[in-house]
């Protein structure tokens, strides 16, 4: 792709804007460690929620969705759409609890919920494990994706692209270390606007290149026919639901995704009950209502609004580039072949925005663990805030350097990354129930992590089960979750509960659902919680229906199936109306009378 002076000027202006935001918010971030990592807990829902959306929009995300659609049609997105059930559960059952907890990071939760050395060990281990190796590996993967994109766009070698990426990450590190979460979230707003604007623009040009929506549907029916697929069947590339007899999504795999995966598996950004940078945004919200609305807006935008431009581009690549060896590169090829030269600088800036929004969050989030949950907790518990802010900035720079080193060797440690992720393969149950059942203790979490790791590694490395195949993934998941659940529940009953003092303090602070805390509630009669579990679960169900109806309704209208689209949109609006009515009836902060 040939770039002009105007393109370079647009890109330079984008970088200057980011640096300007970092400088503008430097003083605000320097006030305290709370300002640096949770923006003084004064963020509005729309800013916190949009920041969540921007963070999950990495440079490689559009390419990944394009590849899913090109390989398996629209239904290929169920590989990540299944997490809508987890996301909406975070909205209605956990967002307000997180905000009430008042912790600075989600791993600090261990020492308000549990006590003694087991709690301290759990907090310290998770801080280092998540903040350094996992965080640097995630950044390394995102770096490599950006290297791939720059190589295709600019026609440079891998080594040259790596140097460019390291220059970009250095600028991102400066912005993140100067401005803390304040600057990260403000730049996220700007970056998300650029990313979505240019993605929508590219989808328009992609659809136009194949002759419009009507012509696209006709040509895709021809693609189906060439594959021996009947138009309108569940195996069509235009189907929203996968064919459960297909090789890529047999029934057992689809069942695993819908029934188990979304609540049982831990993954950065999709933690059961919320965690990581999602929890960080909830904790930064000004109150419980804003925490809930931020997470709700994130899930609506993430699942129902953002995917369709990517999907349209993926469908277009099936027509424009049939038989493409690497389907993910189709997204970039559409840019090169069909985007007007006047928009190329903005399009590259949108990739940089997607990349930098993810990196800046990973750096700030990782530094929060290192500083708050390791350095301050175990080495300097009583230093002034100015000291912690300084250490936070140093930690951000150190993480940048470590992530750059990981980028060089990421291919050789792919196996190690899979093993590290195995620790979270079956821990979702304990992460969800620790809020709702007083009997869960620190050993419950520790045993779940250990059991999940051992079982997952044994099945894959000793028994030879291949989790990369649909069937293999399902059976590894079922066995890992089943055995891990037996282990952590058994451990819970075989070990002592947390001391009453710890449980009462947590109960007074968070005010969890009464049903699982009656033993503790008797010790704190001044707290009068409501039994809102059933209404919250009904809101969760309505939220899932709302998002899925909106997702498929928007898609149906785009693909000119207006009757179906209108019915689905009506279902989404009805579900939204129910949620609004219920929360007005009960109150947005409904834990206590």
Q: Which residues of 565-584 are buried (b: 16+ CB within 10 A; e: fewer)?
A: beebbebbeebbebbeebbe
User: What is the C-alpha separation between 350 and 54, in angstroms, rounded?
Assistant: 11
Strand partners, 245: 250
What is the SS3 string spanning 516-565? HCHHHHCCCCCCCECCCHHHHHHHHHHHHHHHHHHHHHHHHHHCCCHHHH
pLDDT of 411 > 70? The answer is: no
Determine the pLDDT at residue 529. 76
Question: Are the CB atoms for 399 and 132 separated by under 8 Å?
Answer: yes
pLDDT of 488 > 70? The answer is: yes
pLDDT of 506 > 50? The answer is: yes
Determine the pLDDT at residue 303. 94
Domain spanning 5-261+290-418, CATH class: mainly alpha
- Residue 592's Cβ-count burial label (10 Å; 0-12, 13-18, 19+) is exposed
Determine the pLDDT at residue 48. 95
Determine the pLDDT at residue 95. 95
Beta-carbon count within 10 A of 564 CB: 15
Q: φ and ψ at 9, to 5 degrees?
A: -65, -40
Determine the pLDDT at residue 233. 73
pLDDT of 413 > 70? The answer is: no
- Listed residue (359, 396, 386) closest to 180, CA to CA: 396
Determine the pLDDT at residue 416. 55
Rounded (10°) CA dihedral 547, 362, 348, 45? 40
Mean pLDDT, residues 170-183: 84
Q: Which pLDDT tens digit goes with each residue over 65-91?
A: 999 999 999 999 999 999 999 999 999
User: Which contacts (CB < 8 Å, 24+ apart) does range 571-576 have?
Assistant: 571/545, 571/546, 572/304, 572/545, 572/546, 572/547, 575/542, 575/543, 575/545, 575/546, 575/549, 576/542, 576/546
DSSP string, 301-343: IIIIITHHHHHHHHHHHHHHSTT-SSGGGHHHHHHHHHS-GGG
Q: Which pLDDT tens digit goes with each residue over 120-168?
A: 999 999 999 889 988 888 888 888 888 888 888 888 887 888 888 888 8
> How does residue 353 score in pLDDT terms, banded at 50, 70 and 90?
confident
Would the pTM count as exceeding 0.85? yes
> How does residue 592 score in pLDDT terms, banded at 50, 70 and 90?
very low
Determine the pLDDT at residue 138. 85
Q: Which of 75-84, 227-236, 510-519, 526-535 is predicted least confidently?
A: 227-236
Mean pLDDT, residues 401-418: 70
Determine the pLDDT at residue 441. 97
Mean pLDDT, residues 11-34: 84
Residue 571 to residues 83, 391, 534, 578: CA-CA distances in angstroms? 20, 50, 21, 11
CB-based contacts of 406, cutoff 8 Å, min separation 6: 136, 137, 139, 140, 413
Q: Which pLDDT tens digit goes with each residue over 233-273?
A: 778 999 999 999 888 899 999 999 999 999 998 877 778 89
Determine the pLDDT at residue 173. 83
- Listed residue (77, 10, 38) closest to 555, CA to CA: 77
Length of the chain (residues): 593
Determine the pLDDT at residue 1. 66
- Residue 239's Cβ-count burial label (10 Å; 0-12, 13-18, 19+) is middle
DSSP 245: B
> How does residue 419 score in pLDDT terms, banded at 50, 70 and 90?
low
Handedness of CA 294, 299, 302, 308 (dihedral sign): negative
Strand partners, 203: none
Q: φ and ψ at 513, to 5 degrees?
A: -55, 135
Q: Which pLDDT tens digit goes with each residue over 361-397?
A: 889 889 999 999 999 999 999 899 889 889 998 998 8
Q: Which pLDDT tens digit goes with each residue over 39-56?
A: 889 999 999 999 999 888
Residue ranges of the domains in the chain?
Answer: 5-261+290-418
The tokens 């129910």 sit on which residue? 578
Q: Which residues of 273-286 are buried (b: 16+ CB within 10 A; e: fewer)?
A: bbbbbbbbbbbbbb
Determine the pLDDT at residue 540. 97
Beta-carbon count within 10 A of 214 CB: 10
pLDDT of 346 > 50? The answer is: yes
Q: Which pLDDT tens digit goes with each residue over 541-579?
A: 999 999 999 999 999 999 999 999 999 999 999 999 999
Determine the pLDDT at residue 589. 60
Determine the pLDDT at residue 590. 47
Query: According to the per-residue pLDDT averaged within each range, which of 9-18, 327-336, 338-347 is highest?
Result: 327-336
pLDDT of 221 > 80? The answer is: yes
The percent of residues in the chain predicted with pLDDT above 90, rounded, is 55
> How does residue 408 score in pLDDT terms, banded at 50, 70 and 90?
confident
Residue 98 to residues 90, 435, 542, 581: CA-CA distances in angstroms? 10, 10, 22, 23
CA atoms within 13 A on the CB side of 139: 34
- Listed residue (113, 122, 117, 120) closest to 507, CA to CA: 113
DSSP string, 441-469: -HHHHHHHHHHHHHHHHIIIIIS---TTS
Question: Are the CB atoms for 442 and 450 separated by under 8 Å?
Answer: no
């Amino acid at each position: 792709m040939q770039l002009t002076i105007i393109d370079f000027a647009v890109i330079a202006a984008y970088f200057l804007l980011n640096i300007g935001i970092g400088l503008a918010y430097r003083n605000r971030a320097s006030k305290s460690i709370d300002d640096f990592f949770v923006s003084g807990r004064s963020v509005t829902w729309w800013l916190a929620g949009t920041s969540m959306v921007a963070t999950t929009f990495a440079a490689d995300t559009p390419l990944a969705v394009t590849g899913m659609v090109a390989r398996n049609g629209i239904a290929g997105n169920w590989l990540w759409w299944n997490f809508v059930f987890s996301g909406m559960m975070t909205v209605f059952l956990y967002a307000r609890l997180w905000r009430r907890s008042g912790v600075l990071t989600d791993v600090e939760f261990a020492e308000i919920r549990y006590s003694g050395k087991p709690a301290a060990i759990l907090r310290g281990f998770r801080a280092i494990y998540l903040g350094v190796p996992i965080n640097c590996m995630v950044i390394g993967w995102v770096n490599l994706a950006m290297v791939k994109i720059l190589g295709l766009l600019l026609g440079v070698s891998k080594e040259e692209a790596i140097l460019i990426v390291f220059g970009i990450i250095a600028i991102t590190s400066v912005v993140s270390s100067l401005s803390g979460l304040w600057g990260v979230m403000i730049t996220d707003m700007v970056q998300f606007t650029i990313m979505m604007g240019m993605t929508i623009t590219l989808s328009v040009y992609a659809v136009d290149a194949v002759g419009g929506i009507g012509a696209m549907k006709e040509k895709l029916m021809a693609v189906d026919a060439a594959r021996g697929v009947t138009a309108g069947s569940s195996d069509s590339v235009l189907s929203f639901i996968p064919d459960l007899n297909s090789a890529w999504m047999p029934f057992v795999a689809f069942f695993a995704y819908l029934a188990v995966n979304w609540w049982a598996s831990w993954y950065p950004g999709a933690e059961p009950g919320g965690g990581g940078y999602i929890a960080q945004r909830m904790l930064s919200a000004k109150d419980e209502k804003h925490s809930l609305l931020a997470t709700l807006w994130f899930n609506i935008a993430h699942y129902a609004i953002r995917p369709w431009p990517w999907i349209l581009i993926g469908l277009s690549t099936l027509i424009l580039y049939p038989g493409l060896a690497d389907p993910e590169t189709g997204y970039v090829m559409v840019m090169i072949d069909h985007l007007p030269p006047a928009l190329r600088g903005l399009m590259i800036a949108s990739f940089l925005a997607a990349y930098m929004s993810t990196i800046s969050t990973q750096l700030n989030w990782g530094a929060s663990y290192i500083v708050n949950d390791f350095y301050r907790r175990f080495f300097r518990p009583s230093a002034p805030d100015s000291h912690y802010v300084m250490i936070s900035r140093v930690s951000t720079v150190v993480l940048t350097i470590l992530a750059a080193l990981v980028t060089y060797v990421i291919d050789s440690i792919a196996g190690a990354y899979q093993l590290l992720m195995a620790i979270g393969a079956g821990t979702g149950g304990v992460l969800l129930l620790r809020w709702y059942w007083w009997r869960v203790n620190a050993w419950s979490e520790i045993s779940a992590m250990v059991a999940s790791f051992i079982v997952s590694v044994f099945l894959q490395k000793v028994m030879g089960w291949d989790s990369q195949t649909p069937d293999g993934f399902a059976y590894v998941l079922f066995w890992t979750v089943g055995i891990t659940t037996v282990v952590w529940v058994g451990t819970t009953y075989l070990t002592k509960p947390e001391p009453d003092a710890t449980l009462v303090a947590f109960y007074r602070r968070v005010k969890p659902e009464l049903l699982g805390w009656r033993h503790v509630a008797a010790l704190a009669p001044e707290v009068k919680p409501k039994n809102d579990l059933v209404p919250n679960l009904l809101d969760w169900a309505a939220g899932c229906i709302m998002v899925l109806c909106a997702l498929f309704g928007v898609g149906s209208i785009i693909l000119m199936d207006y009757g179906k689209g209108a019915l689905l949109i009506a279902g989404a609006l009805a579900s939204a109306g129910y949620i609004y009515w219920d929360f007005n009836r009960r109150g947005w902060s409904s834990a206590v009378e």
